Amino acid sequence: MKAPELVRVVAKGVFLLCVVFSWSDDSGGTGIRFSVLVQAQGIPVLVTNGAEGRALLGSSDSRCSFDWTLDTCKSAVDGKCDEGDKCETDCHDCDPCKSYNFDCAGCVEAGCFWCPGDAHCAGRKLENNFWDKFNKVSSCNAEDDWKSTCGEPVGNDNFFSDPLFDASTWAFDLMNVQEAWKMGYFGSGVHVRVNDEGVDMTHPELMTNFDILNSCDDFMPPTIKDGHGTACASLIVGKADNDVCSVGIAPKATLSACRLVGEDVTISDAEALTAHMEVVDISSNSWGPNSCEYTGKNKRRLKKQQCPFDPNAKNSPCGACGGNIKSKTCRRAIVKFCSRPSNFENHRLECAEYLDLYVDCTYNALDPADGATLGQLVMKGRNGLGTIILFASGNNHEFGENTNFDPWVSSRFTIGVAAVDKSGKHASYSNPGAGVLVSAPGGDGENILNNVVATPFDGGCGDSGSGTSFACPRVAGVVALMLEANPFLGWRDVQGILAQTARVTHPSDGTWVVNGAGLRHSEKYGFGIVDAAAAVSASINWQIFGPEMQIVKESGTINRRIWNHELLATTHSLHVDTDDFVAESVVLYLNIVHGSRGDLQVELISPSGTVSVLHPSDRPEFTAMAGEEHWKLTTVKNWYENPKGDWTLRISDRDSQRVVVCKDYPFTTTIHLEGDKYEIDCDMMKEAGFCANGVLDAGMGTYLKRYAARKAKSSCCACGGGKKPRGGDRLLDWTMIVYGHERLD
């Protein structure tokens, strides 16, 4: 028996919440493949079970003497079959029928019961109340949902006969994919590149569509553990009617791959993205930087106040806090509560105030070479029509991340893709932001099964788990259908079609706004869930956009004070006179002096009244911004608006009272004493006692000596070679660029 193997990706912050576990016995018997999401101190982790090979119904695990088929049997559902007496509370994980998950034929042959929607096998017909206590949702809620035979998939209108098709219909239905297939589009003639940790081209789901010659030299995953890229690829081009797994959205598209994530990568991001760009139509990227990361150990003096959370909320920290949130017990309870994605989703305003207790953020600017690469792809790719570049929005919503923290997602050259769960609701892990263009199915941790995918090196199938990683390739698949329908679409045309045809979901969500062109946009969903049929229909007779145009407006020197009070916003407006123009994306460059930009709420208000939150406040990012540094922020909320009128920038410091870790202002110099040369920096000055460890006053920008050696709001500490701090936080100037095209009507 081989030990369970964990598919785990840590490099470059691959956007993956749950992953596939698999094993096989030494005799070559069918192995079990499934994943279970659990929580350990608020952090999602995965475990796998260890059930023994094939077995007939009525037999039991050799380590257990109880009858696990009885209703009285309890279950731990921790993914492990415990030995000895513990088996009495572990009937689910010791169920030998679980060996046939993702294998209907083996399941019914063994006398077990098959759940088509979950690709799940069990020794008894599990009803929904079985999963309720584990906060899991099954698609088989009644006895009749469980099958004892394997026939044609029940929900595919006879399109494809793939054995696990039914387990994918939830995603196909949300995206209206089957209606696009009815129109006869399957991605023929379209080339899709997956840039990831490698793709197993030997898998039967992928091998007939794989283009080795136009892949990078390094395209295979190094080990069976590196299954992320193979999973993503199968969601795009998984072969149809081959008796293996399910089917991709564009099963007739061509696939190539580059390995740019993982250990011993020998190629740069720019090299991978542009490799064989002359033949690549679509670039799918489910990777990116983690701008905000969990630390769980940050300290801050909390004010004495009542618990701000709903005391009736499940697992509310108020029980530990009582009437005073200053205690360490309360701090730990808040961190545990807010670091769970579902809790942050439902209590975002309250949790945002405490992000600095468990998260550190460092905003990432795009390397100039990478920025030039994206520009090259859209200007030269597809013979000048532009490569369609997609990026997953990321999975750190509970850490306060936003698409404007990620330079890949927030680039106007890319399509930012967020994730929804099986109900079409925003997936609690999915990063929001003004740069999200659309959303697609990614799954969520409460589901028994999320995404049926190909697993590397064994020709098998598994559950990828949930993540924006799996929403992104699904949109890439839809774009392949669009380009088959109309190969003359430019990269901006594709963005415009997706924005115009996306379907609003969960309209009661308070983040939806209607822009000046009548389109609805949400920082969680973008313009909505991609509608494959609507997008393909619009593509067929689409009126191609004219050349990209831009309106550049500069403020000049304004030197406006940024007040350390959330009720005193700094505002400034720029006027646009152009009337025959259709807006697409809008990019801002802010020249500000501020010690802790994570405290700033930055908003842009269009002439139509559309408000884009470009940066949410209360983020633990304490980089001191120098006057020569320009902060780039992007929004897609203004698609199709008329830009004529006043555009207003509004900045407010929402956290004037926060006390956070103080960081030194950069300082290094060289002095010469008696012929010897000495390098002097802040640490040396402090140790020698030459430099006060003071801080900036939150309001006036002056030293407060009484706070020496204590933590402070500003990240610009007093060291700095003994230099006086600059007076106050200020908006020096700003530039706005509205990208779009000429209005033809």
Among 185, 739, 278, 737, residue whose Cα is nearest residue 492: 739
Q: Which of 41-45, 119-123, 383-387, 502-506 is predicted with the least confidence, judged by mean pLDDT? A: 41-45
Cα–Cα distances in angstroms (integers) from residue 598 to residues 568, 615, 622, in the given order: 17, 8, 6
Per-residue pLDDT for 718 more than 70? no
Would the pTM count as exceeding 0.85? no
Residues of the chain with CATH 2.60.120.260: 546-745
Tokens 């003071």 sit at which residue?
Answer: 694
Q: Where in the chain is the domain with CATH 3.40.50.200?
A: 169-289+365-540
Q: Given pLDDT bands bounded at 50, 70 and 90, which one contains residue 403? A: very high
Mean pLDDT (whole number) for 486-501: 99
Amino acid 477: pLDDT: 99
- 390, 374 in Cβ contact below 8 A? no
Q: Tell me how far apart the alpha carbons of residues 84 and 570 are, in angstroms, rounded to a whole number.
A: 67
173-191 average pLDDT score: 97
Average predicted confidence (pLDDT) for the chain: 79
Which CATH number does 169-289+365-540 carry?
3.40.50.200
Q: How far is CA 704 from CA 191, 352, 661, 693, 725, in A?
A: 62, 28, 16, 10, 12
Q: What pLDDT score was predicted for residue 442?
A: 96
Give CA angle at 275 (231, 217), nearest 5°.
Answer: 70
Sequence-ordered list of residues with C-beta below 8 angstroms from that of 156, at least 6 positions apart, any chain: 165, 166, 169, 178
- Top-confidence residue, 115 or 69: 115
Residue type present at position 304: K
For 546-745, CATH number out of 3.30.1130.10, 2.60.120.260, 3.40.50.150, 3.30.565.10 equals: 2.60.120.260
* CB-CB neighbours of 727 under 10 Å: 12
Question: What pLDDT was estimated at residue 286?
Answer: 97
The pLDDT assigned to 689 comes to 44
More confident residue, 666 or 628: 628
Residues that are catalytic: 196, 228, 469
Q: What is the predicted pLDDT for the residue at 333?
A: 87
**Which has more confidence, 725 or 688?**
688
Taking 60 as the threshold, does the pLDDT of residue 85 lie above it? no
Residue 474's H or E segment, with its range, is: helix 468-485
Rounded to an integer, the average pLDDT of 630-654 is 95
Question: Comparing 38-52, 68-82, 168-182, 598-612, which segment has the lowest mean pLDDT?
Answer: 38-52
DSSP letter, residue 24 = -
Residue 563 pLDDT level (bands cut at 50, 70, 90): confident
The residue ranking higher by pLDDT, 375 or 722, is 375
Q: What phi and psi, each to the nearest 5 degrees, are found at residue 658?
A: -65, 140
| Predicted pLDDT at 728 | 61
Contacts of 409 (CB under 8 A, 6+ apart): 288, 391, 392, 393, 394, 403, 416, 431, 433, 435, 436
Q: Please state, for a pLDDT cut of 90, what percent of the chain lies above it.
A: 51
- The tokens describing 211, both together, are 């283009």
pLDDT of 303: 58
Structure confidence by residue, pLDDT tens digits, 507-523: 999 999 999 999 999 99
Confidence band, pLDDT 50/70/90 cuts, at residue 670: low
